[in-house]
Structure 1
């Protein structure tokens, strides 16, 4: 199915025609011209049954004895084909908030995820005739696409080598929108935006995964601290040698040890002053 425009006439013009035909029919009945009055009355009645009012950003899908005639998108007061069926389809932008879904990420960890989908109908014929219920179709396909996208990524990735659900929300939302569009185009629906509204580990593993995240964060931070400490020690030794202070290997090793302990330690360094020697 593909949307097309159907015949429609300005309703005020049609209302004038109805009043005029009604007046002529009454005049014909008064003059006992029944052969003229009856057809005029029937035409006036047919036009009366074809009056429809369309609100802004609404549409009427017109069918005639099971055949799709077309769609009227313009808001206003109209006359359409008499005895035709008319179904209203909203063209306004709408939101769909998914429930919290419980899925497994690519590592097999159970997570809770939810999203909001912003969409609108762009083809009324597809929305009504290609799917049974396009509202329900949007709901089911949105949750299916969200499950599929969530299962392709890990919940978190501290080293940043791959995309993660928590660290790359923009990229994940963009992929979700593209997959939704491919699924919902059959229903004549355009996906305007898709955003994650909830993302968390499932309650049964939340505490354990939080501990793992903390441990990974501490380990990553320690690696950065050690790298920085080594660079600082190398810079200090190079500066001393540049100033002409030569250190033997034993003193250099002791200095490196002291500097690393002072920099890497999570506590403030406690200086020890050597005041005398036993020998």
Structure 2
């Protein structure tokens, strides 16, 4: 690049042909000059520039007449709903148990050992004096008695639809879903869990319809405990948690009154089922269905909404009746004139239509 003295540059005149040679046009140099007369390469003038949206931040327009300068506003970050993740360490796993026969045999062995120790000590009635109750006899009594208590104390009965959640010193040790006579370590704490399919009917829960009118909804939930460890140990009370999830879902899903579109009621039930199932899944509860069984207006708006609904039904009934009367009058007049039974001019036709309309309306208003 080269720089010349600042002056206005005028293009030089070039002859169209050189003397003594063929005419050859001489093109001016491809330069752009300003007062500084700086050369700018031509290829720099045709560079692709990024889109204005990509290189300019969002600008809030200034108010006219105030002299306020435009302000640059950063886009607000999108806040995502935190995902509820279950505790990976708290997950149902089978516990180690023995058949009930092992506990029975251990208990009977303890009883037999106690009897043998008594015979050894010679304290049975009608027997000759034996070695007496010494340290060895007391140790034998302690061992056999502990064996009997340990054997009989660990017996448990497993039933279908019920499970045992075992823990030792506050630590989860497993779940027992087996049925029949079992032997469980008596040192473990047992908590019974119901894993059968259950129905829960809620009380009147606050809700709203699509227009924001306050409602009271009673829902029926079909659910069961899927993971006993999370359901009993992950939360304090799984039934209370289920009730709160149902109330939260009703606050987000609009509910329609009975008598509306059937598709709307089905959509509300599907949305409630999906939301509640997603909320209770991390705590080991499985939800199959959440359906509204009773929907009514809230007490504070019940009277006004009932009057409004009755007025709408009355208007609809009146419109239906009027349409039916008009069709009947039209059909009657058409038949009379088509068959040639009467010949009517415009005035007579209007009078006949008026009389027939009054007669049909009076007949429909009379109770059956």
Q: Report the TM-score, using the length of structure 1 for normalisation.
A: 0.72
Point out the structure with the larger helix share: 1
Contact kept? 2:205, 2:218, Cα under 8 Å:
yes
Instruction: Indicate the structure with greater strand content.
Output: 1
3-state SS in 2 of match to 1:205: helix
- Equivalent residue for 1:59? 163
Structure 2 partner of 1:277: none
Q: Deviations over 1:87-106 (max 9, x none)?
A: 11122444434332344433
| Equivalent in the alignment of 1:206 | 302
Name the residue aligned to 2:285: 189
**Displacement of 1:127:** 0.8
> Which of 180, 185, 196 matches 1:76?
180
**Are residue 13 (structure 1) and residue 102 (structure 2) matched?**
yes
Taking the TM superposition and a 5 Å limit, the aligned residue runs for 1:1-279 are 1-20=90-109, 23=112, 46-81=150-185, 83-149=187-253, 152-155=254-257, 160=261, 163=264, 168=265, 172-245=268-341, 247-265=344-362, 267=365
Local SS of the residue matching 2:103: helix
- Using CA pairs below 8 Å that are at least 6 residues apart, which structure has the higher relative contact order? 1
Gaps of 5+ in 1: 269-279
What's the Cα RMSD here? 3.7
Gap regions ≥5 residues in structure 2 = 1-89, 122-135
For 1:174 and 1:262, how far apart are their aligned partners in 2? 50
Tell me the SS of whatever aligns to 2:300: coil
Indicate how the Cα distance of structure 1 residues 236 and 97 shifts in structure 2: closer, same or farther if over 3 A, else same: same
Shift of 1:217: 0.6
Does the CA-based 8 Å contact 1:96-1:139 persist in structure 2? no
User: Secondary structure of 2:287's partner?
Assistant: strand
Displacement of 1:134: 1.0
- In the superposition, the TM-score normalised over structure 2's length comes to 0.57
Deviations 1:233-277 (A, max 9, x none): 332233234323554443333333332333335656xxxxxxxxx
Deviation at 1:60, TM superposition (A): 0.3
**Rg larger in 1 or in 2?**
2
CA distance 1:186–1:262, change in 2 (3 Å): farther
Shift of residue 191 of structure 1? 3.2
* 8 A Cα contact 1:107 1:154, kept in partner: no
Q: Is the 8 A contact 1:97 1:117 kept in 2?
A: yes
